[in-house]
Structure 1
Amino acid sequence: MPDSPQAPAVLSVAVPSPLRRLFDYRPGGPPPACGWQPGLRVRVPFGRRRVVGVILECRDTSDLALTDLKPVEACLDERPLPDDWLWLCRFTARYYQHAPGDTLHQAMPALLRQGRALEARTRERWQVTADGQGDPVPSLAKAPRQAALLAMLRQHPHGLVTQAILAQSFGREQLLALERKGLVARREEPRTASPSPSASLLAEPALPLNREQASALAVLHERLDAYHPCLLHGVTGSGKTEVYLQLIEAVVARGRQALVLVPEIGLTPQTLARFRSRFRVPVVALHSGLTDHERLDAWEAAASGRAPIVIGTRSAIFTPLSHPGAIIVDEEHDGSFKQQEGLRYHARDLAVARAHRHGIPLVLGSATPSLETLQRALAGDYQHLRLTRRASRHAPARLELVDLRGRPRRGGLIPPVLDAIESTLAAGHQVLVFINRRGFAPTLSCHACGWLAECDHCDARLTLHRQPPLLACHHCDRRRALPDACPDCGSADLRPLGSGTERTEETLAERFPDIPVHRIDRDSTRRRDALEQALTEVRRGEPCLLVGTQMLAKGHHLPHVTLVVVVNADAGLYSSDFRALEHSAQLLEQVAGRAGRAAHPGRVLVQTMHADDPNLRLLAARGYDALAERLLEERRAAALPPFRFLALLRLESPKEAAVNELGARAAEALRAHLDRRRLEVDCLGPVPAPMERRQNRYHLQVMLTAERRSRLHEAGAWLVAWLEAEPAARRVRWSLDIDPQTLS
């Protein structure tokens, strides 16, 4: 009998902690059947707590004496967590300079963090037995409900799950009675069942492709077994989703899995519905709206391979796949793919790394690609696939600039725009009014002395809300009752300044009393399924008005909208953030894409105080692609991304002096290190953040830039080590943001 492998003397464990290191333990408790190895979850003592960690290394030595190491209390797994997931977590921690334990903690479902086993929950499926197929059944002569239940089950050769049976007003006692009589039998199956090998893949036929779609799909089909990054650059309504669906069909037909990332939870229901109506195989979702049990079920189904298609938001990039076949990132430009707190990863960039690791196709889809992705496509790093025509016969609507200067406004809208809305509704069509400000008005002002309602905790003004009536800060969520009089001069003449979604909704309801007005923003869609219910009403096609924020601009198909009105397009034109114009142009182009997607042509009216701005005029005249070309030239001249790499040290503290002192010392120490090592990295700052005081804390930034990514990471790693060893840094909250997408 061969000798069993010798157990390692030391287990290096990643525990949920902000410390960027592993912690050594001795093996303890019964060893797992697979032997001690990386990827196993263990319960270990950590300070005064008992925590769940993950073994990342098995070694024979430690920097501490073996007798000083605490033993592992228990191993929680019979086999390691998936290898591809473990690799991705380690890569993420290394690339984003984040603590490995916290990275793994954030990347796994909550129940796994708590020590639950990674196993599928099951459900009962009931089927009619051979004895139950005969008719009549004498034993049911005096049991009409049992007879009715048996008759219903006979109509389903593959059986029904318990929940579906109970939904038909039958009871469990009737099922058990039929089982005792030998007429039905039950079996346990995973909640996400494996696809039947005999069933056809498609539940409905694929749509015909136009020439551009067919050409793009042919390119994707050529290299299904290799890393093949592509930018699918298609105008809004050009049929990118149909290309995704037919690519996934080819992937799943080969026994592989597809991972699809979408930017917003609001897009998940409609995407799921379309995918589930197309395919007969299980399609699972992963997003923040799931319960912990639902999330673990989906995670396990993907890891086991029972779910060939996985759709999710940002965090779904960490979903393990047993047979990865393709990764698709829809609306790849969207800022929500970047995590802005804690582990500051970018799901799109991790998708690139993961597709390269697996050697599978990667599709980045967008009508308005980020400048980073667009530059890589222009440089030949990504294959550039263009879709220039809409699936409908109408060309995309161009922006029409409407000058606001010197014109009276009601609810943010000027008379010519209100007239255009009226004529569109009279023609039986729908109108989308886009205003990227929640609430009734951006702030409240005293007409007598000029006082403005400002937040006590942030360098920001309080937003006036009418439903319910209050003043709220959208940065720290501080709320305050409406004042009866000006706190400075005592005047009762308090007036709202500007317009938000509530005020625009009120104005339109007064002007068009017989037309339904649907307001869609974060406040009106807090209730689960509220967004989908509102959009279902809109898709009926009756004339109506939609008033909404950027929640409406992303990916929604609104076939009856023929007029889009942008209330104010000036927010990002003159920002201190160098990406603001790019993001504003993307948002304008995306919201414009909601118009004229079906039988009737669309029109887009953009209200602005800067109708003569050259960038805005270029966007209106020639579209996003022309503006992106100009912005890339400016970025190259200014040595900004995508032509240089950035990292941002963010510092915050309730004490202004503490954050200023640490920022100055950190920048000075880093510059001295860069000079000694002759690293080609620039250190800029410290400077106050664009909003210096937020949530009653002072925010400071130090920026690192370099032409080579490796040099930037070397400098960032040194800075992190310096901060971890610096006593003053323990009194200041700090983080290093690799590839920041915003300076705010």
Structure 2
Amino acid sequence: MSWRIDVAVHTPAHAALGDLLSYASDRALAPGTLVRVPLGRREVLGVVWRSALDEGEVHAAPPAPDASAMTLKPVGIALDGLAPLGEAWRDLVMFTARYYQRSLGEIALAALPPQLRDLTNVQLSRRLKRQAPPAQAPADHTPQAMQAPQALPVALTQEQSEALARIEAGSGTFLLFGSTGSGKTEVYLRAVATLLERQPDAQALVMVPEINLTPQLETRFKARFDARFGNGSVVSLHSGMTHPQRLASWLAAHSGAARIVLGTRMAVFASMPGLQLIVVDEEHDPSYKQQEGARYSARDLAVWRGQRENARVLLGSATPSLESWHQSRPAAGTDSGGRYQRLAMPSRVGAGALPTVRTVDMNLQPGKTVISGVLLDAIGQRVARGEQSMVFLNRRGYAPVLACGDCGWKSECPHCSAYRVFHKIDRTLRCHHCGFAERVPRACPACGNLDIAPVGRGTERLEEHLGELFADVKRPDGTPVRIARIDADSTRAQGALESQLAAVHAGEVDVLVGTQMIAKGHDFRRITLVAAINPDGALFSSDFRAPERLFSLLMQSAGRAGRDAAYLAAQGTTAEMWLQTHHGQHPLFAALRRHDYTSFAEPELEDRRAAGMPPFAFQALLRADARTQEAAQAFLTAASAAADVLEGADRVTRYPAVPLAIQRVANVERAQMLLESPSRAALQRLLAAWQPLLHALRREPEGKGVIRWLIDVDPHSI
């Protein structure tokens, strides 16, 4: 008997091949089974899926009525040694594909570890028999300064106890609104511990926004749980791991051997049959939104997955996203309130006070001042007392532009509509968009002038400038001031980030300079002063989310100061946050000075309600990449006209096509069109019905020159 098997394979949405491909098998295969199947000239990994024709059941293929009937290709091999992927996991993948307008196989295969695609049954059997190694270095190999003494639970504050009691008594999604240093991580640890003790087969997923936050979190979780549940009970999943590490962690989670999975946004797709709790730390962070390929929001999928699997979802942040804040609003009058339960923890652990926020009016400073005299004096006082300071500038490199003062030449990228950044450390001009780099010219390429100079400042130049300013300042032991820089350039080498963070924790750094990599999530115990050098750029951005991101980043930065109340008391000092700004009276800074997220969020929500913007409306972007800007915009304009005939098109506003802010990257012109609707369902129906028209449009004259198109649902940047 021959069976027809419908399989999800990796076919990108723009390929228009459909979600499922049919194959023949000599035996029935359960949905969720991993198989190898022929696709063109290759053999690829696929997932046996439910067929739309057989209501989810694998069924026997009827004999062909005549020779002209289509002959199905046979399935290669099935990875029988691996338990089929569960129905809940397949539902998550299907929802993601439908909601974010991608193909089913593209989501399903991207969610699996890459090495799984190449294993035979024999190799897989060996992997399953082998003891799964830890995904990261064992705890005793972690730098001493990064090992927090967390093996024994600490005493809970009243706010932590109340939050845990409400989590234990309730269900659904919770927003843990806790100030920086209020002990949100301890709440996560206790919630996970309670779950695992109560249910022997339960699993928990803990997500962080960035890879650099996983080492310290993994150290704390391993110290707390390894002794109780075994060395393999905590595993990590993120893109910084090797393929064998990712496979070992995924197999441990899929089999249930791993009780806790720590990871970045990709971990939301981990196969966890016993999932009962999902924690999304720093839920406001834009890093949870994927910006390549399938542009999903891991935070939103975590909430959906919790609802599907009846698992509690705990969203934690000191500066929640306005969407989550709105969804956790209490009931008032005719408003029944949001879908989330809000848990407030406004106090810092150990009676520590939030840092005092001071602003420096740069309008009163001499021209071209980088760091004001009062801020330099404040940092110098901290150095003299043996304390640490952090200087935050969200721009890496030495200078954003290299320019000629005679002819006006600037270091433009020949392949992008952007400038190449000057990196002094290796004397290169490097484009941060396409990666094109070349040596700094000895003279101006346009006029031959030898006097070409950097314009503006990045972290590399700021580090150098601070070194010059503090050249004569001594530490308490008489040694020179030690300045370190942490950004994407300084941490490029394997293990560089871990060693640099360890140096900061050990007190080997006096002044830490960095980008947003150091501004959130890190538990620096000796930093007592944080300074933001140039935060004004986002105040007047055309992106309506820019103020929200700026407030969050600054408040998170402030939270790195004064996290250890005992250390502050011993030093006889207080924590401070310094802001150098030309707009000190801006309402955003006024709310920041009071550490009052509510006074920032509520007016911002009212402005969005009046303007009909998220979370009171729903958006999507249709983007087109083409060889010319005219071709990209022509495709988008034709697509908008084609949508006129679709049912419900009148409920979705389609704005004119415009170039992106950086319209050319790697010699590809980019344009976009914004779609907006007060109804999520209406927007989704239009997008689903639009897909066939967009595929057909690629074959029309309007589609000539278009390289690719994509749909971005719930975009984070417009």
- Structure with higher Rg: it is 1
Partner of 1:742: 717
Whole-Å separation in 1 of the counterparts to 2:63 and 2:387: 73
Identity %: 41
Give the Cα–Cα distance (whole angstroms) in 2 for the partners of residues 716 and 510 of structure 1.
56
Number of residue equivalences? 657
Contact 1:257 1:323 in 2 (8 A): yes
1:682 to 653, 660, 676: 653
Give runs of aligned pairs for residues 654-665 of structure 1, distance below 5 A: 654-665=627-638
Structure 2, unmatched stretches of 5+, are 52-57, 136-148, 330-336, 472-479, 569-573
Separation in 2, partners of 1:112, 1:63: 34
Q: Is the 8 A contact 1:368 1:625 kept in 2?
A: no
Q: Counterpart of 1:145?
A: none
Mean Cα deviation higher: 623-632 or 99-108: 623-632
In structure 1, distance between residues paired with 2:394 and 2:101: 34
TM-aligned CA distance change 1:116 to 1:207, over 3 Å: farther
8 Å Cα contact 1:451-1:488 kept in structure 2: yes
Say if 1:25 and 1:72, in contact at 8 Å, map to a contact too: no
Residues 246, 120 of structure 1: CA spacing in aligned structure 2 closer, same or farther, 3 A cutoff?
Answer: farther
What does 1:431-510 align with in structure 2 at a 5 Å threshold?
A: 431-510=389-468
| 8 Å CA contact 2:391, 2:513 repeated in 1 | yes
Q: Conserved in 2, the CA contact under 8 Å of 1:554 and 1:591?
A: yes
Shift of 1:23: 4.3
Structure 2 counterpart of 1:576: 542
Residue deviations 1:355-374 (CA, integer Å, cap 9, x gap): 00111110000001001111
Please give the per-residue CA displacement for 1:650-680, whole angstroms capped at 9, x wherever unaligned.
111122222121011011122x135x54641
CA contact (8 A) 2:663 2:669 kept: yes
Separation in 2, partners of 1:63, 1:712: 42
Tell me the SS of whatever aligns to 1:74: coil
Which residue matches 1:108?
Answer: 112
| Superposition deviation, residue 60 in structure 1 | 5.7
Alpha-carbon separation, structure 1, partners of 2:296 and 2:191 = 27
1:213-265 Cα offsets, whole Å, 9 max, x none, are 10000011113xxx420000000000000000000001111221110001111
- 1:616 and 2:594 matched: no
Q: What residue in structure 1 maps to residue 97 of structure 2?
A: 93
- The answer (yes or no) to whether the contact 1:236–1:390 under 8 Å persists in 2 is yes
Partner SS state of residue 657, structure 2: strand
Q: Write the deviation string for residues 605-624 of structure 1: whole angstroms up to 9, x where unpaired.
A: 11122223333333334533
2:309 maps to what in 1? 358
Query: Match of 2:264?
Result: 313
Aligned twin of 1:719: 690
Q: Offset of 1:570 from its aligned partner? A: 1.1
Q: Pick one of 421, 429, 434 that aligns with 2:379.
A: 421
Q: Which of 290, 312, 336 in structure 1 is aligned with 2:287?
A: 336
8 Å CA contact retained: 1:565, 1:606: yes
CA distance in 2, matches of 1:481, 1:64: 66
Q: Which residue is equivalent to 1:589?
A: 555
Residue 154 of structure 2 is aligned to residue 241 of structure 1: no
Is 2:150 the counterpart of 1:206? no
1:82 shift after superposition: 3.2
- Cα 1:725–1:249, aligned 2, differ >3 Å: closer, same or farther? same
Measured in 1, the distance between the counterparts of 2:174 and 2:318 equals 14
| Number of the residue aligned with 1:630 | 603
One of 218, 235, 239 as aligned partner of 2:165:
218
1:602 to 575, 578, 581: 575
Question: Are the structure 2 counterparts of residues 403 and 554 from structure 1 closer, same or farther at C-alpha, using a change threshold of 3 Å?
Answer: same
Return the letter of the residue paired with 2:267.
A
Q: Is the 8 A contact 1:39 1:81 kept in 2?
A: yes
One-letter identity of the residue aligned with 1:80: P
Aligned-pair distance for 1:593? 0.6
Q: Distance in 2 between matches of 1:296 and 1:411?
A: 51
CA deviation vs aligned residue, 1:4-49 (integer Å, no higher than 9, x gap): xx764x3222221114513443423x53xxx323222222222232
- Take 2:9 and 2:465, find their aligned partners in 1: how far apart are those partners? 55
AA partner of residue 22 (structure 1): D
TM-score, normalization: structure 2? 0.87
Residues 290 and 616 from structure 1, CA distance in 2 versus in 1: closer, same or farther, beyond 3 angstroms? Answer: same
Most deviating of 630-639 and 535-544: 535-544
1:74 equivalent to 2:76? Answer: yes
Q: Name the SS for the 1:590 alignment partner.
A: helix
Partners in 1 of 2:491 and 2:362 — Cα distance?
30
User: Residues 454-502 of structure 1: CA distance to partner in whole angstroms, max 9, x if unpaired?
Assistant: 1122221221111101111111111122122223333222111111111
Question: 1:287–1:62: structure 2 CA closer, same or farther, 3 Å change rule?
Answer: farther
Instruction: Report the counterpart of residue 667 of structure 1 in structure 2.
Output: 640
Q: Map 1:146-545; keep pairs closer than 5 Å.
A: 189-191=131-133, 204-223=151-170, 227-253=171-197, 254-255=199-200, 256-279=202-225, 280=227, 281=229, 282-378=233-329, 379-405=337-363, 407-408=365-366, 412-513=370-471, 514-541=480-507, 544-545=510-511
In structure 2, the CA distance between the partners of 1:381 and 1:399, relative to structure 1 (3 Å rule), is same
Aligned equivalents of 1:619, 1:366: Cα separation in 2? 16
Deviation string for 1:46-83 (max 9, x for gaps)?
A: 22322222221235679998941332232322242233
Whichever residue aligns with residue 646 of structure 1, its letter is: Q
AA in 2 matched with 1:44: V
1-side partners of 2:636 and 2:711: how far apart? 13
Distance across 2 between alignment mates of 1:316 and 1:597 = 29
Aligned partner of 2:154: which letter? L
Aligned pairs for 1:4-83 within 5 A: 8=3, 10-18=4-12, 19=15, 21-28=18-25, 31=27, 35-56=28-49, 57=51, 58-59=58-59, 67-78=69-80, 79-83=83-87
SS at match of 2:351: coil
| Matches of 1:377 and 1:123, distance apart in 2 | 43
Question: Once the two structures are superposed, what CA deviation does each residue of 1:566-593 show, in whole Å capped at 9, x if it has no partner?
Answer: 1101121111111111111111111111
Q: Following TM superposition, by how much is the alpha carbon of 1:414 offset from its aligned partner in structure 2, in angstroms?
A: 2.3
Aligned to 2:174, what secondary structure does the other structure show? strand
> CA 1:192–1:618 in structure 2 vs 1: closer, same or farther (change >3 Å)?
closer
Task: Quickly say closer, same or farther: Cα 1:123–1:732, change in 2 above 3 A.
Answer: closer
CA shift, 1:111, in A, is: 1.6
Q: TM-score, normalised by structure 1?
A: 0.84
| Cα offset, 1:329, TM superposition | 0.2
Distance 1:658 1:526, change over 3 A: same
Computed over aligned residues only, the root mean square deviation of the Cα atoms, in angstroms, reads 2.4
CA offset digits 1:435-472 (Å, max 9, x no partner): 11111111112223333221122221221111101111
Distance in 1, Cα, partners of 2:85 & 2:670: 39
Q: Secondary structure at the match of 1:392?
A: helix
Contact 1:411 1:503 in 2 (8 A): no
Contact kept, 8 Å, 1:120 with 1:300, in 2: the verdict is no
Instruction: Label 1:346 to 1:101 Cα distance change in 2 as closer, same or farther (>3 A).
Output: same
Structure 2 vs 1, CA of residues 121 and 276 (structure 1 numbering), >3 Å: closer, same or farther? farther
- Between 1:609-618 and 1:285-294, the stretch displaced more is 609-618
Structure 1 unmatched ranges of 5 or more: 1-5, 125-187, 194-201
Distance 2:109 2:264 in 1: 18
Range with greater deviation from structure 2 (726-735 or 275-284): 726-735
Q: Residue 716 of structure 1 aligns to which amino acid in structure 2?
A: L
SS in 2 for 1:274: helix
Q: In 1, distance between residues paired with 2:151 and 2:391?
A: 35
Q: Return the alpha-carbon distance in structure 1 between the equivalents of residues 155 and 709 of structure 2.
A: 53
CA deviation digits over 1:165-199, x for unaligned, max 9?
Answer: xxxxxxxxxxxxxxxxxxxxxxx645479xxxxxx
Tell me how far apart the structure 2 counterparts of residues 312 and 397 of structure 1 sit (CA, whole Å). 30
Question: Using the alignment, how far apart are the partners of 2:234 and 2:189 within structure 1?
Answer: 12
CA contact (8 A) 2:399 2:458 kept: yes
Q: Is 2:601 the counterpart of 1:643? A: no
Matches of 2:7 and 2:604 in 1, distance apart?
46
Q: 1:552 to 1:517 in 2, by over 3 A?
A: same
